Amino acid sequence: MKNNWYVLTGAPSSGKTTTLKALEKKGYKVFYEWARIYIDQELKKGKTLKEIRADEREFQRKILRLKIDFEKKLNPKELLFMERGIPDSTAYMKMLGIENDKDLKDALKNCNYKRVFLVELIKYELDYARTESQEEAMLIDSLLEKSYTDLGIEVIRVPKMSVEKRVDFILNNL
């Protein structure tokens, strides 16, 4: 049974957060990316990004656990938008050569998103929390799409356009 949740995903620097903020301004319930939330929390404790991501495998597993715990608390009937879903972890773990993570396999069985919007990369820009190169970002884009379609979840690509047009595109495709 599908829940009423929509996922915005895409390569780093594709405009997911900006698009979610615009949806939030229109009154929609949105939830932001757990990796960035976790990084921000750890930076406030005085850690550096290098320390936070020193063990990339453990970092990805931590983010997966945060997403799993978070989604368990959500109402499946409530219309909401979230930045990245559990299948995003498949793409990131695949980049690290992790193919058979038991927690991920178990969590993927419960992914019943209504629809996934894959936001296309506009212009890659590094920031304080990104560690991927532009080439890795492009690979992540294709791995993300495959992660969802392999589960039978519909993925709609959101083309390069203004934030306002992206929001309209998404809302017209609910």
Q: Three-state secondary structure along the chain?
A: CCCCEEEEECCCCCCHHHHHHHHHHCCCCEECCHHHHHHHHHHHCCCCHHHHCCCHHHHHHHHHHHHHHHHHCCCCCCCEEEECCCCHHHHHHHHCCCCCCHHHHHHHCCCCCCEEEEECCCCCCCCCCCCCCHHHHHHHHHHHHHHHHCCCCCEEEECCCCHHHHHHHHHHCC
Percent of the chain with pLDDT over 70: 97
Tell me the pLDDT band of 100, cut-offs 50, 70 and 90: confident
**What pLDDT is attached to residue 134?**
76
Is residue 123 scored above 80 in pLDDT?
A: no
Segment 137-151 shows an average pLDDT of 92
Segment 97-108 shows an average pLDDT of 86
**What pLDDT is attached to residue 152?**
92
CA neighbor of 158 nearest in space, from 3, 5, 13, 19: 19
Half-sphere exposure of 124 (CA within 13 A, CB side): 15
Cα distances (angstroms) measured from residue 46 to each of 10, 39, 50, 167: 29, 11, 12, 36
Is residue 42 scored above 90 in pLDDT?
A: yes
Segment 161-171 shows an average pLDDT of 96
Is residue 127 scored above 90 in pLDDT?
A: no
Is residue 55 scored above 80 in pLDDT?
A: yes
**What pLDDT is attached to residue 122?**
78
Domains of the chain (ranges; CATH) run 5-172 (3.40.50.300)
Tell me the pLDDT band of 13, cut-offs 50, 70 and 90: confident
**What pLDDT is attached to residue 121?**
84
Segment 38-58 shows an average pLDDT of 94
Please give the model's pTM, rounded to 2 decimal places. Answer: 0.91
pLDDT tens-digit map of 60-92: 999 999 999 999 999 999 999 999 999 999 999
